[in-house]
Structure 1
Amino acid sequence: MQLVHICTVLVGLSLAVAVTGVTPGLKSKIFTLVSRSNDLVTNVTAIRCAQHCLRLGDYTCSYITINAKNRRCEFKKEKIGSRTGVNLEYKVTVWDGIVVKISSDVNYDEASTECRRLKGFLAPYEILVSAIKYGMNLTCDVCWLISGEVTFSNDQTMCELVSPDLRCNLYPDRAALYSCFYCYINSIIMPFGIDYHSDCRILHISYDSTQGYHYADAETRCRDEFNGHLALPMELYNVSVNGVKTCETAWFSDNLKSKAENAEICWENAITGNKFRNVDPSIYYKPAYCSLLNVEPGAYPYPDHGVIYVTPTDSSRNVLNYTQATERCTEIGGSLASPNQLEAANLAGYSQLKRSWIRDKYIAYSCVHGCSPLGVTVSKGQKLESNQYDAFCHIPKI
C-alpha cells in the first residue's frame, strides 16, 4: 500500500507537525527499531520516545539508549544544520498520543491493518476532536475511524466535527473505499471490545457516501453487527431535541421511510407523522438509523394519532385500487382511516396533500399550513373501486 500524504498531531500538546512523503509521522529510525522487536514493553517505550522526539520541533533525534524496564529513553538532540549534539534524557510518563492522517484508498480492514502496522489503532472520534483542538488541520475528507465509523456525522454541517456527545455515529459498510484514515499511536494497546458509540446511541448506517440498503439488508446489519433495531421515529425526535442533527432521508422501523422536517429539530415530524410513509421495502436504497436503546419489542412506531400514509408493496404498481388499499392497511395492523381519524391527525399537525383512499371508497387529503383549503378535504362522492390512489391507514395502539 502506498501512503500518499500524512499529517500528524500530538494529543495533549499545542504542537502540530505536518509530514509529506512515506514516513508515517514518526522518525524512520524509531519505526525501524520498533519493527525489529516483538517485545511489547520495548515497543511501547520506543513509541513513547518517538512522541517525545516529535515534540522537539526543529530538532532531529537519534537514540542513545532505550531502557524498557524503567520506561526511559535517552536520545541526542541536534539542531538541523549543526554538528553539535546535546544529550537529553526523557522519562516516559505522560499519557499522550499521536494522531496520524494517512491518505490512501482503503476499506475499513485495510485501514485498521495499516494502523496496527504502525503500532497503533484507528483513532476514536473523541481523540480526533482533541487533536483538532490542539492544532491539527481539519480537511473535508471523509476518513475511517475506529469501530467502522467515519469522520463527519452531521448531515447539515459537513467539514465540522460536532461535540462527541451530539453526534450520530455514521457507519458505512466496511467494504466501502474511503480516501483516508486516522491512526492513533499511544503507549497503550487497543483494548478490544470497547464501545465507541456516541452517547445518543443512534447509529447512521449506509453502504458508502452515496448508496444505502434495501430495508431488509439495513435491518439485518443493524441487528447482526450492532445488536440494535431500526430506530423508532420518536427515538430520532428525542435525540434531535437534545441537539443531535442527522437529517438524512432514511429507513426507520416497520418499513417506514422519511425525510427530515427541518434542520433545527430534524425529526420534529415524528410527532405529526409528516413525511413518514410506509413503503415497498424492496425498491428503495436508503441509509438507515439503527438504535442501541432499549425499547419494548414491537413498540408502537407511529404518531399518536395513528394515521400513516402508505404506498404499494408491489413494485409493479404505482398506486392502489380500493381493495388493494384495504389489504395494504390490514398488512400493517390497521384499516383505512375514517374522515374523523384523518381530521384528528390534521388537528395534531399532520399534512399530506396527495389525494388518497380513506374508508368507504372516499378519497381525501390533509392541509395544515402553506396550502388551501386548510383542514381535511373529502371527495363529494364515492370513487370507483378500480380507481387508483395511495392510502391513509389508521393503526390503533394495542
Structure 2
Amino acid sequence: MRIVLGVGGGIAAYKVASLLRLFTEAGHDVTVIPTEASTRFVGTATWEALSGNPVSNSVFDDVHLVNHVRLGHEADLVVVAPATADLLAKAATGQAGDLLTNTLLMAHGPVLFAPAMHTEMWQHAATRANVETLRGRGAAVLEPASGRLTGADSGPGRLPEPQAIFDAAMALVQGRSDYQLPLAGRTVTISAGGTREPLDPVRFLGNRSSGKQGVALAVAARNAGATVRLLAAHMEVPAPAGVEVQRVETALELREAALAAAADSDVIIMSAAVADFRPAEVSDTKIKKRDDTADPVITLVRNPDILQELVEQRNASRAGSGQLVVGFAAETGDSQGDVLAYAQAKLQRKGCDLLVVNHVGIDKVFGQDSNAVVILSRAGSEPQEASGTKTEVSEAIIRRISFELNHVSPRA
C-alpha cells in the first residue's frame, strides 16, 4: 500500500518516526512530507533513512513529476501526525501553500489526522469547528490522548501512541468503501474491569474480571472514530492510548461516574463486572483473627443497578432519546433455566437496547484472551453470535452498535 505520511510542526513529531517504522515493517511504501516547521524538530535525513524514499516539502522540487498532484492521486492512504492546530485549520479551509496541503487537496483515498497540541488549542471553538468540518467531509480525525504535555501541564492534547495511530489507519483502510469511520463524531463511554468493595483497609469483595474485554471495546470504538471515555475499575491490562480514562474502584464510584458521563454520550457500554453487593459496614481497622473471638459475620447490602438507572435517566431526558445503552450479562445456567433464558429476562428487566451475554464459569471468559457472546436486542431482532479473540468480539459488537446508531430511529 502506498502511504503519504504528513508530519506537522509540533514537538510530538519525534514520535512519528516510530509510526513510520510500523508502516514500513508492515510492508507499506511510505512517502514522508514534513512541513517546513516540522523539520525544526526532526530533519529530512531521518525521514529519508527510515522510509527509503526521498523527502521534500516544496512544490518546486522534481517539478517534472508534478508531485503536488501525483502524490495525492496515487496514495492509498494519507496520514497526518502530528496534526497541529495550524494544519487542521489549513486542511479545513482548503489552503495549498506547501506540498502537504496540496497533497491533502488531491487525496483520492482515505485521510487520517492524529492531532497533537496544547489542551486550550484543542478545546478552542475554532479548532473544534475545523475538526467537525474535516469529519463532515469524510476525513477521520482521532481524539488526542490525555496526559502530560510540553511543560508542566496535563490534559487532552497528546499525540496518540504510534501503535494506536497505526491501528486506526489500518481500520480506516479496511473500511474504505466510503472512507468514513462509522463512529466519527460520536462519544462512547465504556466501563471496564471489576469493582472492589472494601471490607477493611486491606480486604475487599471482588470478582475475576481482568478488564480485557472492556479495553478491547475501547480500542475498537477508538478505531471506529469515536471519542472514547473509559471508566476503569480494577484491570489487569493497561488502558489503551487515545482514550480518556477515569479510574473508579467501587460500584458507587462507578455509578456516579457513569451517570455523569452519560450526559454527553451517544453510546454507553457497561462491560464492567459490577459487584451486586457490598458490605453494610466497612471497618476502619484491619479485622483481626483471634482465637478467643467468634467468627466475624459480614452483612451485605445491594448495590444500585447502574445499568437500569442509566436507561431511566436516558428515557427521562428528551435530549438523550437517541442514546444507545448496551449492557453485559455474565450468566450461568441452572435447573431453573439456561443462560439465554436468564439473559432475556434480564434484558426486559433492565430495559437497555442491547445486551451482550457471556456464559461464564471457571476458566471461561474472565482473564481469557478469547470469548464467545450472544448479542440480544430489546427490539426483538434475532440473537447475534460473535466469537474469537476479545479483539474480534469487540469489533463485532462495535459494528452492531454502529449499525444500530445509523439505522434505528431515535427513541420516544
Give the TM-score range, shorter chain: under 0.3
Provide the TM-score with structure 2 as the length reference: 0.27
Provide the TM-score with structure 1 as the length reference: 0.28
Q: Which has the higher helix share?
A: 2
